[in-house]
Amino acid sequence: MNILIIDNSIGTTGALNAILESVEPLRSTHTFRFVVPVEGTTAELIRSHGYEVDTLPFIEISRNMGRNLQYPFRLIGNAWRLRKIIKQHQIELVQVNDLYNLVGIVTKRFVKVKVITHIRRMPESFPLRLYQFWVRKHKRRSDKILPVSKANARLFADTPKSEVFYDSLPPHEVNFTYDPSDKTPMRLLYLANFTVGKGQNHALIAFKQLIDTTNRTDITIHFEGSDFGLEKNKVYREELHQWAITHGIDKHVTFGLGSADIAQPISQADIMLNFSDSESLSRVSMEALYFGIPLIATNVGGTDEMVVDGWNGLLVERGDTLAMFNAMKKLLESSELRQQFSTNGKLHVAQHFSSEVLTLQLEAIYASLK
């Protein structure tokens, strides 16, 4: 089949990596082409993987009302442009990488094509009425709906079009063995892009309490992620840095600008943290488990589908910085628990998120839409 994948990312994201990794094993049997935003680095990244790429001037719903007023007109314009791409390249199937991009289902008004929609973002990421509007539209117009977790499949439980399709394990080779022993320093890693809601602010508050309570000077926390070149994300990153300085913990805190090779910062971590306010199925959490790094994560979305609390990681409630502090302290004080989480984390994701099984599932989904 000739398949067109639409992704709104303007840089490297977990959602973009997930869709790339899910279709890679099927390149010998299908032809994939991508449509991504004009702005950002996504087109360059996808071309580096050997795919053909077209760009469209997408607009996302935001707090900017001026831009939001342009949205309906831009959506219709993009659907018409997409129609031309579909006809030119004889596209049989359009695969949209999240529900908030409606261009796929709108394009169906102009050209005959099947549409698959992945459901990645959780309802709390958007105004509820807007999310419910998107849900109704996809139930009616999408030919197949693929929630990435059981958590965000709940709103689609009443349609036979819906089928949970997990992200598969990362394709990276694990070329190191996790060492659970106590070290100087003990290194906590927070791997997330610098966008509000990703939870770095919670981690800093809990980390300060850890330093103040234990008086340990042998602990560091490293924040690694991209700001996508956006001013609001740069401001957020700088606010985190200034908070660390103001509260006297900046000697223990470092910041990176995103790593093309995530295995490098992960291989140096003793514990990984993910205190995001909203996740459907966190890519970072899966990567921590896959590499065998003990994980503490917020119990949001589908995280508990990966992390069994107390067996292969620790779960805390969203925004509960006291629980985050206690979890960090508990894990730092027990090399035995770190070893248990490392071993069980690798075992759990290998059993439940096998790329081979998910490749067969995706091939079956494609076949059902021919």
DSSP codes of every residue in 23-45: HGGGTTTSEEEEEEESSSSHHHH
Residues in the chain where the model's pLDDT stays below 50: none
Residue 175 lies in a domain: no
Residue 191 lies in a domain: yes
Q: Is 157 helix (H, G, I), strand (E, B) or coil?
A: coil
Give pLDDT, residue 127. 87
Query: In this structure, are 345 and 364 located in the same domain?
Result: no
pTM for the full model? 0.88
Model confidence pLDDT, tens digit, residues 150-183: 999 999 999 999 999 999 887 777 889 999 999 9
Give pLDDT, residue 260. 73
What CATH number is given to the structural domain containing 88? 3.40.50.2000
C-alpha separations of 252 from 36, 47, 182, 188, 311 in Å: 38, 39, 17, 10, 29
Give pLDDT, residue 64. 67
Model confidence pLDDT, tens digit, residues 307-338: 999 999 999 999 999 999 999 999 999 999 99
Alpha-carbon gap, residue 85 to 104, rounded angstroms: 12
Give, for 207, the enclosing helix (H) or strand (E). helix 200-214
213 is in which domain, residue-wise? Answer: 186-352
Residue 77 lies in a domain: yes
Residue 179 lies in a domain: no
Residue 180 lies in a domain: no
Query: In this structure, are 24 and 54 located in the same domain?
Result: yes
Give pLDDT, residue 172. 76
- Say how many C-beta atoms besides its own lie within 10 A of residue 24's C-beta: 16
